[in-house]
Amino acid sequence: MQVTLKEIASQVGGRVEGEDCLISGVATLRSAQPGSISFLSSHNYRKYLKDTRASAVILQEIDLDLCPVSALVSDNPYLMYARVAALLNPESSMDGGIHPSAVIDKSCKIDSSVWVGPNCTIGPGVTLESNVYIGPGCVVERDATVGESSKLIANVTICHHSVIGKHVLIHPGVVIGSDGFGIANDEGVWIKVPQLGRVVVGDHVEIGANTTIDRGALEDTVLEEGVKLDNQIQVAHNVYIGAHTAIAGCVGIAGSTRIGKHCAIGGAAAVLGHLEIVDGVQINAMSLVSKSILEPGIYSSGMPVQNNKTWNQNYARFRQLDGMARSLKKIEKSIDSK
């Protein structure tokens, strides 16, 4: 696809500075060639701007004087880049149909525009709405619903009674609606607790590869609209994630925790169960959330990487903190008594 810079601006916004030019693709500042449009959203990459071979660069007003080529000026260059990349790389459409190797129960409700790929299994009572794409090797169990224009890329399992909204993108290996980890102890023997709820996924949600979302024990596990999950995330039973929250890879969320809207959780963070996290919270990577967070803001825990010698010294001092605190209290008491 090839469009002019002014045509791009007319569709995605921004202000054109410099000559109009033809754009056929996106690239980084360092790898760009004539015909490419690049972007500058971090000052760390400003050093590459003067030598870029891109035909145009998306940038902020503050960087315009440094740009040797045409520019598309925006307050949010990264967001603008996302929109330009989508414009230049439209998704290919696919006619509806069912691959001969797919196994489809006769009781399913499948719109004529749906594509079901090879080696898929679609169980009884399943509803697949218009323009749904079911990629190879997927399983959709009984009475599940997949909403309009949603896409299961490959080897996705949607367990029974799960509800997937519209325009949902689910990457390979995802499992939605498997049993939550519910067990009760009977004198040392673990007894399974039936998991009777569902998973309900809202519209415009994206779920990364090999992420697992457990069904609720009694109430539903819910992802509201616009939630974005990275790869290899564990969402336990009865978790509720508010609209437009983004969660990075390898995060674990224990059961019955409620996360608010417009939150962001960094990679490998762990959130314990039965907690509440209000709207507008950012949790940095590798953090352990052991208590509810009831005020918006940025939260961190854990220790950033250090050279090993410094880490050993700090760890040794950490082990001495209790004794040091006791000694300090004794000194304070002796001073107060004088």
Say if 3-88 and 97-299 have the same CATH topology. no
% pLDDT > 70, the chain: 100
pLDDT in tens, 246-257: 999 999 999 999
- CA dist., res. 286 & res. 301, Å (int): 7
pLDDT in tens, 100-146: 999 999 999 999 999 999 999 999 999 999 999 999 999 999 999 99
**What class does CATH assign to 3-88?**
alpha beta
Q: Which residues are catalytic?
A: 237
Domain boundaries, the chain: 3-88, 97-299, 308-338
Tokens linked to 97: 């149909």
- Other residues' Cβ atoms within 10 Å of the Cβ of residue 203: 18
Tell me the pTM.
0.92
* 97-299 placed in CATH 3.40.50.720: no
Please name which of 139, 143, 141 lies closest in space to residue 125, comparing C-alpha atoms: 143
> Does residue 8 surpass a pLDDT of 80?
yes
pLDDT in tens, 37-60: 999 999 999 999 999 999 999 999
Distance of CA 24 to the CA centre of its chain: 28
Tokens linked to 159: 């367990």
Long-range own/partner contacts, residues 146-152 (CB < 8 A, 24 or more apart)? 147/203
Angle, in degrees to the nearest 10, between helices 5-12 and 77-88: 110
DSSP-derived 3-state class of residue 88: helix
Residue 132: per-residue pLDDT: 98
pLDDT in tens, 141-179: 999 999 999 999 999 999 999 999 999 999 999 999 999
